[in-house]
Structure 1
């Protein structure tokens, strides 16, 4: 996990409550609800979220694409921030991987003279 967190830091500078890429090629990105050191921390799959809405002060309902819902003891603003940071990380990492993949294929060796 530390290696994934360091990767996130290198890609977009996020250092606290860092989202991580489990498998970027299949879109598996997760983010923590609180500090990963907190025993109540849950990891949420970014692509499985349908919507979130505030429940009350300090709690948020996360609705998944399956229709299931969970309540987390995290403010709506903090959850929105985590979702947006994960989206930014996904975009930047995907662009980096796409660029690397294309540049690897476009390299042509110089002919011998």
Structure 2
């Protein structure tokens, strides 16, 4: 039985968010490593709320991703890079059928049919998505590019803060003999 929850933030256990018709509304079916939930919010609303939860709004994440990887459509979102929480959409995020998949949890994927892709997750669960193989493959590559670019920036920034070359020894301005 799926538990219906009111509040939810995407986290390191979230594998994917899938839209589900619930009466006349679109809800989200949330798949975690060991649990499933139903949320009264759409997958895109949950992605936006999760970005906000981690301190950055969705539009800023989109803008940053565009600048880093140069793509404008179906772009992946770095919800929380420090914990490797990156999600990618399977179609335009504004479309009702858009599923959001966590890059970190995908172990493998393969073509099943013209518009069907089997995704095998790291916890050995699998799911057939009604999405072309080329879409999943492209989104996996875009998300990997985003992760790489962000890590390069983070690592490059550390080097700027902590320069290693031309270090001079530090000496005290007073004699240590007065303290004995």
TM-score, reference length from structure 2? 0.57
Counterpart position of 1:30: 87
- Name the structure where helix makes up a greater proportion of residues: 1
What is the distance in 1 between the residues matched to 2:86 and 2:159?
22
Q: CA deviation at 1:48?
A: 0.5
**SS of aligned partner of 1:38:** coil
What is the distance in 2 between the residues matched to 1:31 and 1:20?
6
Alignment of 1:1-113 (within 5 A): 1-106=58-163
RMSD between superposed Cα atoms in Å: 1.4
Counterpart position of 2:177: none
Higher relative contact order (CA 8 A, sep 6+): 1
Segments of 5+ residues of structure 1 without an aligned counterpart are 108-113
Segments of 5+ residues of structure 2 without an aligned counterpart are 1-57, 165-180
Deviation per CA, 1:14-62: give whole Å up to 9, x if none: 1100011111122111111111001111111111001001111111111
* Runs ≥4 residues deviating over 3 A: none
Q: CA deviation at 1:101?
A: 2.4
What is the distance in 2 between the residues matched to 1:96 and 1:31?
21
Q: Report how many residues are paired.
A: 107
Which one has the largest radius of gyration? Answer: 2
Q: CA deviation at 1:70?
A: 1.6
